[in-house]
Chain A
């Protein structure tokens, strides 16, 4: 295991369009990791875990000290997503190893569930746990699947429209949705039948990349091709869309915080945007990085964490 202490940088930035202040703190990581996804433990000041795709490692940041631990996952590892289970253990969707990987947070022992060889390479992307503890995952080559951690039972299913399954999330009721980037749709998974049903957004070819549910089960979608943030209400079937500010925006990641404000990363302007569904306004925030390339967003009460893949940093936006 590799350990590093790097000096965090704190900035206090005023939002470009709002009076509310947001504190931005940056944690540099060892260079060359190509941090991809991030997951913050829900405990205040708890560890923040991240996937290091290029180096094939799981990372753990202690935000109180800036200490970074790196845990190697295997010689062919290239992890994309990282999430925590109810016990605080990190799980990775490891495209390089074509396996679901769990790391024991205390012993750092690595356990793997390889995908069936008959499925070939699926390009594992992202995962989420539903309320019953089933681990649902996507594979960009055109699959989604489920792993029961209690039994090790792993099943892989063909996605209804082929390649593209990318971000995945569950509503508070436990309904799982995923976004299909190449397929430009979202899909709802019925956990009882394992069937995925396509839900077509109104904008053709929008490039739905990631999804996140708010506290009421409304599904928010980041659209890469159209540069929109969109909203799907499963109760009414209604869609709404808002174009991100700036010329030719590209919206990569989406996350909904505990106040039901929606955060997205926008790549043309290289900014973080916070969207208030009540006022329907975006506020823009930037770290000190010229190019951040934020590929995913996660958070906990009062904090939104971003992995900046270009400069290899973790950045936290603290708000009240």
Chain B
């Protein structure tokens, strides 16, 4: 019983720490992305509902041609595709406009994506 309680506490602590870390890492995205679809003046599209969305397909956003093409060829945002994209956007979609921005640390990417899975709902 004590072991189970300890495991639950560790799990809760880890989940909380991971969420905090994800929110911290999101500061790298914050200048260009928000979760408010009504916020139109940013350089990047809203992240609301990103999971399961085809790349380059959000109505009303002026995507670069390579990202639209990638979406037409089947790129859909998931935890796995986002992880690859954030590590090196150019490696997944050559010519994408945010190609210079990389999140090289795998632990940071994992934390960000876990956090996004809640924040982007």
Contacts and interface: CB of A to CB of B under 8 A. Distances in A.
Nearest to A184: B41
Nearest to B26: A121
A170 to B, nearest CB: 23
A53 B31 contact: no
A233 B101 CA distance: 35
Contacts of A141: 27, 30-31
A182 B42 contact: yes
A201 interface: no
A123 interface: yes
Interface residues of A, number: 30
B102 A78 contact: yes
Contact of A34 (B41, B43, B62, B100): B100
Contact of B28 (A75, A121, A183, A291): A121
Interface in A158-197: 163-164, 181-184
Contacts of B24: 120-121
B95 A54 contact: no
A184 B102 CA distance: 26
Contacts of A224: 43
A181 B102 contact: no
Contacts of A207: 41
Interface in B1-57: 24, 27-28, 30-32, 40-43
A25 interface: no
Contacts, number: 56
Chain A interface mostly: loop
Nearest to B89: A54
A310 interface: yes
B62 A121 contact: no
A54 B99 contact: yes
Given A54-B90, A207-B41, A250-B62, A123 B31 contact: yes
B104 A76 contact: yes
Contacts of A164: 31
B110 to A, nearest CB: 17
Interface string B85-98: 00010100001010
Q: Most chain-A CB neighbours within 10 Å: which of B41, B97, B100, B101?
A: B100
Interface string B54-89: 000000001001000000000000000000000010
9 contacts: A54-B102, A76-B104, A95-B101, A96-B102, A120-B24, A123-B30, A182-B42, A184-B41, A310-B95
Going nearest first, the 10 A-B pairs with the smallest beta carbon separation are A53-B100, A140-B31, A34-B100, A121-B27, A54-B100, A123-B31, A34-B99, A141-B31, A141-B30, A182-B42
